[in-house]
């Protein structure tokens, strides 16, 4: 989580909510663990996506 928090701050989004995913990085995961990890993550990811407002400055800075 430390890397994610550092990158969020670097990119100007220090309040960006992060969801911790079990077995990440997933290179050492055993067969079946990815599905279980995804099932565990669905609810917290959904909560973050439906409750986090992206600041207007971030929305407009990505326009071309």
How many domains does one find in the chain? 1
What is this structure's pTM?
0.55
Q: In this structure, are residues 26 and 34 in contact, taking their beta carbons and an 8 Å threshold?
A: yes
Query: How confident is the model over 17-36, as pLDDT tens digits?
Result: 888 877 666 677 787 888 88
Task: Say how many Å lie between the first and final Cα of the chain, rounded.
Answer: 31
Which residue range is the domain that position 20 belongs to? 2-61
d(CA 31, CA 10): 35
In this predicted structure, the answer to whether residue 63 has a pLDDT above a threshold of 50 is: no
Q: In this structure, are residues 18 and 8 in contact, taking their beta carbons and an 8 Å threshold?
A: yes
Give the pLDDT score at 56: 56
């Amino acid at each position: 989580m430390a890397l994610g928090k550092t990158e969020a701050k670097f990119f100007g989004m220090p309040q960006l909510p992060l969801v911790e995913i079990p077995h990440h990085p997933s290179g050492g995961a055993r067969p079946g663990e990815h599905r279980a990890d995804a099932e565990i993550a669905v609810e917290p990811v959904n909560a973050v996506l439906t409750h986090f407002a992206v600041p207007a400055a971030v929305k407009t800075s990505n326009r071309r």
